[in-house]
Structure 1
């Protein structure tokens, strides 16, 4: 991720306020969660892919972020096609397995729905610096500074946890600890990482307290977070995408409110 931060931050999407990206993702996500149909999800996904070049996110980095979600969506699609609701023509029936028009339509809707929600969310937050998001939440939404800064500090330590896990594995292997038994090795290494995380978190909390992060009074910020016209344009753009997607589903007669299922 660190190799593409500079390019991403200089992209048109990277210069948008982090809070506007969060609002845009929420607007589109809520609209897609209201219905399970392939039309609204497909239209939303297609429009999002058209806007993808503005993020200037390398396809390899995008794929590395999306492949777990895409794999999960594909598994859910296959399971739904085999065990989903039965309606219309039945193509396969063997025990509990029933493949019909209804199950295939529902499977396609679930696949497109997951991708339509995941792709814009991943792209928006891949072009967002965690510090910018923390500044926006604290300065614009007026969330408690202690909570925001604590969450930011914890998020910054995620990369260290990954490195600690790798180093713990190498150290245990060098000492010949738990050479056999994957479950025992995993459990022991997880407990060691847990203890290490608590120690590092305690030290970080003490250091932040010593530097006055928990002091009362009005807090100043090194980087002011402001809402600009381009931020509103991004939110309006995603509102338009959500509106067009819902309108297309209603016009096609596929709109199915989730509570009506």
Structure 2
């Protein structure tokens, strides 16, 4: 399963909505969450996101596989703040030499970790319920995005799964030639860097060839384009946008009313 493969039941009520509406709703709901660092606001937002997930036709187990890479980011935030936090307010919990773990440090780490998941989850749901071709068509037809940008982004999305295949091919080819790092961590790091560089060079070459091929086929001709699949923006799509904005503002209002709102600036 690739990162951009549709894993939702396309007959679900919110999964059928216009791709631009779903993308806009994700932005409207996520952006206000970056205005605060308290753990309460992203926690409530995350609970609401999980509650509406069945309406998008996404199963919780399938979503868990998509968000698994975020656990690495969450662990990095926890370790970084625990060791290098500038302010260590609250009660002292554990003292590890020069590092004091306090309730304030853990609260700040929890707020950032919850915010990572609360902000990322709507975007993951959008791509899990939307075919990339439909998204590109909707961006051009409904959001009036340049066709060159939308079609180029679609081509990039389609090529992303090839990166994993090429990484495995490069690794197996080097192993067949006897190039193996063994258990040496330094050699493994060098092997990783060289493989990543080779993958980057191959991706750039493929991108140049694809751009030339698309231009040769008239993708940037400037002539009026026709569409095989029309993307209609209905009243239900507008309601989704309004609902996302109202939900985000309601969560922020609740956090302010309870006195837990901690703005990022100020």
Counterpart Cα distance in 2 of 1:258 and 1:226: 38
Counterpart Cα distance in 2 of 1:49 and 1:194: 36
CA gap 1:101/1:168 in 2 versus in 1, 3 angstroms = closer
Counterpart Cα distance in 2 of 1:94 and 1:166: 41
Q: Which runs of 5+ in 2 are unaligned?
A: 182-186
* Alignment partner, residue 202 of structure 1: 208
Counterpart Cα distance in 2 of 1:94 and 1:197: 45
* Alignment partner, residue 16 of structure 1: 17
| Runs of 4+ with deviation above 6 angstroms | none
Match runs of 1:213-232 below 5 Å: 213-232=219-238
Match runs of 1:54-73 below 5 Å: 54-73=55-74
The answer to whether the 8 Å contact 2:36/2:264 transfers is yes
Quote how far apart the aligned CAs of 1:30 are.
Answer: 1.5
* Alignment partner, residue 52 of structure 1: 53
Q: 1:148 aligns with which of 138, 147, 150?
A: 150
Counterpart Cα distance in 1 of 2:7 and 2:125: 15
The answer to whether the 8 Å contact 1:39/1:252 transfers is no
TM-score (norm 1): 0.88
Counterpart Cα distance in 2 of 1:142 and 1:7: 27
Counterpart Cα distance in 1 of 2:52 and 2:170: 42
CA gap 1:188/1:6 in 2 versus in 1, 3 angstroms = closer
Counterpart Cα distance in 2 of 1:75 and 1:188: 25
Quote how far apart the aligned CAs of 1:253 are.
Answer: 0.4
Q: Secondary structure at the match of 1:218?
A: coil
Quote how far apart the aligned CAs of 1:7 are.
Answer: 4.7
